Amino acid sequence: MIELAAPREKAILVGAPPKSQAANVTEEHLEELGRLADTAGVDVLDTFVQRLDSPHPRLYIGEGKAEELRQQVADEGATLIIMDDELSPRQGRNLEKLVGTRIMDRAELILDIFATRARTSEARAQVELAQLQYLRPRLTRMWAHLSRVRGGVGMRGPGETQLETDRRLIDHRIAKLKDDLERVARTRATQRKGRTGQMRAALVGYTNAGKSSILRALSGTEVFVEDRLFATLDPTTRTIEVGEGAEVLLTDTVGFIRKLPHHLVASFRATLEEAGEADVLLHVIDASHPQWEEQKEVVEEVLGGLGFGDRPTVLVFNKIDRLSHDEEQALRERSYGGTPALFVSTVEEGRLEPARELLHAELRKIRPDVRLTISSSQGALVAEIYREGEVLEREDHGTEVHIRARLSTAALGRLRGRGVKIYGWG
């Protein structure tokens, strides 16, 4: 029989944390790196750790440790080394040459996972852009195997010529992808304008915190869910019924992770603008994870870097079913700096109702249910209400139009300033 399946890479995971980092945190980081490797289809053989005062400028880890790593690779038959931190092009090239096997850092591994998980043309373009931006300064390392002709002026070797050609091609492709994604961003902005009348909420959080499971349970529709890091990349929006005929648009966004490559965050900005435009962010946290506080900080840092740190936010502690009563009670009694907090589960009956009730309350607060009286001659104002609000009822009485609608406080202020009679607000 002919074996058609591609052979799986066999990797050694390498961590080089600062000496100040606690041992259990280092262990958890490497465990997460192992889960990333599993998602990428890599078999993990072993781990290798060196605590550093500061990274070595040539190799990242110390020269003696690099020699130990070379021997471990030979003894265990590893085909790949995965570093938990991002290497500079020089460090990657030097370490690969010394150890004698391929080196991949955490950023490159995440990019590879995103490349295999991207489904839509937009997601594929975003990942390709991030990969090319990561790859460009590392081309020399890729071409290190080519011989170079040494000589006088004009006697450059084929490898160097190919490097320049590749850089030009990459620069051209990067420019095209940026143009394509700008067009996508404009299309998304147009689509969002068409949904102006509805309240929007977005699920954000660390990867594998349970965002997709919450969306599926609240909407009652099929949403892809898998117990793996970065199971979903493309944003998914569903209509959620929150009571009394009211509806909210809820979007599931790509998950974040510590040491997320900045190229990737930048290229996914168009997708994450769904979060920036949301009326409220539901920050989903895996309450059962021992490092949930660090994960929470990672998400807040990324959101802040994207300019979304000032959005109204609610903390949603998920997977409460995995905690003991005392652990859950301790979470409930903590203070979160004035940020509201919910405690939910997608596997226990009724444990998601607090999230639905919160969305309904936010809808009432952000877009109150009001009644308006407008002259039938003011057709432009009636059209504005339909465009910017959610019209619930309409009755035409001679020269007056009576409308019941949900509108934002900003829209209501503008309408009142133009003489519209508003009942049930202010």
- Residuewise pLDDT in 10s, the chain (426 residues): 555 556 788 999 999 999 999 888 899 999 999 999 998 889 999 999 999 988 999 999 999 999 999 999 999 999 999 999 888 888 988 999 999 899 999 988 888 888 887 777 877 888 888 888 888 887 765 554 444 444 444 434 454 566 777 788 888 899 999 898 888 778 777 766 655 557 889 999 998 898 989 998 998 876 655 555 665 666 788 888 887 667 888 988 878 888 877 777 776 666 677 677 788 999 999 999 989 999 999 999 988 888 888 889 999 999 999 999 999 999 999 989 889 999 999 988 889 999 999 998 888 888 888 999 999 889 899 988 888 788 889 999 888 999 998 888 878 888 998 889 999 886
Q: Helix, strand, or coil here: 17?
A: coil
Q: Calculate the alpha carbon distances from 424 to 363, 375, 379, 393 in Å.
A: 15, 19, 22, 15
318 and 214 Cβ atoms separated by less than 8 Å: yes
Residue 152's pLDDT is: 40
Amino acid in the structure at residue 35: R
Predicted model pTM: 0.77
Go through 124-161 and write b for each residue having 16 or more CB atoms within 10 A of its CB, e for each that does not.
Answer: bbbbbbbbbbbbeebbebebeeeeeeeeeeeeeeebee
Alpha helices in 40-142, H assignment, sequence order: 63-76, 89-99, 106-117, 121-135, 139-142
Question: How crowded is the C-beta side of 160, counted as CA atoms within 13 Å?
Answer: 8
Instruction: Report the C-alpha gap between 232 and 216 in whole angstroms.
Output: 13
Residue 354's pLDDT is: 92
Pairing of strands 42-49, 400-406: unpaired
Residue 157's pLDDT is: 46
CA nearest 372: which of 398, 347, 396? 396
Residue 302's pLDDT is: 86
Place of tokens 């989903």: 284
Q: Helix, strand, or coil here: 236?
A: strand
Residue 196's pLDDT is: 56
CA angle in degrees (0–180, nearest 5) for 296-299-305: 140
CA nearest 355: which of 408, 325, 322, 318? 318
Residue 160's pLDDT is: 53
CA nearest 396: which of 411, 382, 410, 415? 382
If one counts every other C-beta atom within 10 angstroms of the C-beta of residue 202, the result is: 27
If one counts every other C-beta atom within 10 angstroms of the C-beta of residue 178, the result is: 14
411 and 370 Cβ atoms separated by less than 8 Å: no
Contacts made by residues 414-417, CB under 8 angstroms, sequence distance 24+: 415/372, 415/381, 415/384, 415/385
CA nearest 256: which of 422, 110, 73, 92? 110
Amino acid in the structure at residue 40: A
Residue 3's pLDDT is: 55
